[in-house]
Chain A
Amino acid sequence: MIVLLAVAAGVSLGLVLQPTVPLDLQPYLPIAVVAALDALFGGVRAWLEAIFDDRVFVVSFVANVLVASLIVYVGDKLGVGGQLSTSIVVVLGIRIFSNAAAIRRRVFRA
Chain B
Amino acid sequence: MGSVSEPSRSAPTQRAPTQPGLPHPGPAQQRRIDASMSLLVDLSTDALDPGYAAAVARRQAGGPGERARWPLVGATVAAATLVVVIAAVQTRASAPAAARSRSALVAAVDRQTATVDRLERTIASLSAEQAALRDAGLESTTAGAALTRRIADAELALGILPVSGPGLRVTLADAGSGSNASLVQDRQLQSVVNALWAAGAEAIAINGERLTAQSAIRQAGDAILVDFRPLVSPYVVTAIGPPVDIETKFGASDTAARMRGLAQLYGLRFDYSRAGRLALPAAPDATLHYARPVTAPPRRGPS
- Residue ranges of A at the interface with B (Cβ–Cβ < 8 Å): 2-3, 5-7, 9-11, 13-15, 18-21, 29-30, 32-33, 36-37, 39-40, 42-43, 45-46, 49, 51-62, 65, 91, 94-95, 98-99, 102
Instruction: List 9 tightest A-B contacts by C-beta distance, closest first.
Output: A10-B81, A14-B85, A98-B47, A36-B80, A53-B55, A56-B51, A6-B77, A6-B74, A6-B78
B87 is an interface residue with CB less than 8 A from chain A: yes
Nearest CB on B from A17, distance (A) = 9
| Bound-state Cα–Cα, A94 to B41, Å | 11
Q: Among the listed A19, A33, A53, which residue makes an inter-chain contact with B51, where contact means beta carbons less than 8 Å apart?
A: A53
Evaluate contact between A14 and B81: CB separation under 8 angstroms: yes
B72 is an interface residue with CB less than 8 A from chain A: yes
Segment among B24-32, B63-71, B116-124, B133-141 that sits at the interface with chain A? B63-71
Evaluate contact between A56 and B55: CB separation under 8 angstroms: yes
Evaluate contact between B47 and A56: CB separation under 8 angstroms: no
With most chain B CB atoms within 10 A of its CB, the pick from A5, A19, A53 is: A53
Q: Among the listed B56, B82, B87, B89, which residue makes an inter-chain contact with A51, where contact means beta carbons less than 8 Å apart?
A: B56
Evaluate contact between A54 and B70: CB separation under 8 angstroms: yes
Evaluate contact between A55 and B55: CB separation under 8 angstroms: yes
| Bound-state Cα–Cα, A46 to B73, Å | 13
| Bound-state Cα–Cα, A19 to B48, Å | 31
Evaluate contact between B85 and A58: CB separation under 8 angstroms: no
**Can you show 8 pairs from A to B with CB atoms below 8 A apart?**
A9-B81, A32-B87, A51-B56, A55-B66, A56-B52, A94-B44, A95-B43, A99-B48
Assuming the contacts A14-B89, A20-B90, A54-B68, asked whether A95 and B52 have C-beta atoms less than 8 A apart, the reply is: no
Residues of A within 8 A of B78 (CB): 6-7, 9-10, 13
B113 is an interface residue with CB less than 8 A from chain A: no
Residues of A within 8 A of B72 (CB): 54, 58
| 20 other A-B residue contacts (CB within 8 Å) besides A43-B77, A49-B52 | A2-B74, A3-B73, A5-B74, A7-B77, A10-B78, A10-B79, A10-B80, A14-B89, A21-B90, A29-B86, A36-B81, A39-B80, A40-B77, A42-B47, A45-B47, A51-B53, A54-B68, A54-B73, A58-B73, A94-B43
- Residue ranges of B at the interface with A (Cβ–Cβ < 8 Å): 18, 43-44, 47-49, 51-56, 66, 68-90, 93
Chain A, Cβ-Cβ closest to B82 = A10
Please count the residue pairs between chain A and chain B whose beta carbons lie under 8 angstroms apart in the complex: 135
Residues of B within 8 A of A19 (CB): 86, 89
Evaluate contact between B48 and A46: CB separation under 8 angstroms: yes
Nearest CB on A from B278, distance (A) = 56
Evaluate contact between A2 and B48: CB separation under 8 angstroms: no
Residues of A within 8 A of B84 (CB): 10, 14, 33, 36-37
Residues of A within 8 A of B49 (CB): 42, 46, 56, 60
Chain A, Cβ-Cβ closest to B57 = A51
Assuming the contacts A5-B74, A57-B73, asked whether A33 and B81 have C-beta atoms less than 8 A apart, the reply is: no
Evaluate contact between B89 and A18: CB separation under 8 angstroms: yes
Residues of B within 8 A of A57 (CB): 73, 76
Residues of B within 8 A of A56 (CB): 49, 51-52, 54-55
Chain A, Cβ-Cβ closest to B79 = A10
Chain B, Cβ-Cβ closest to A64 = B49
Assuming the contacts A56-B49, A57-B73, A57-B76, asked whether A15 and B85 have C-beta atoms less than 8 A apart, the reply is: yes
With most chain B CB atoms within 10 A of its CB, the pick from A13, A57, A65 is: A57
Residues of B within 8 A of A99 (CB): 47-48
Residues of A within 8 A of B70 (CB): 2, 54
Chain B, Cβ-Cβ closest to A50 = B56
Residues of A within 8 A of B87 (CB): 29-30, 32-33
| Bound-state Cα–Cα, A99 to B43, Å | 11
| Bound-state Cα–Cα, A59 to B55, Å | 13
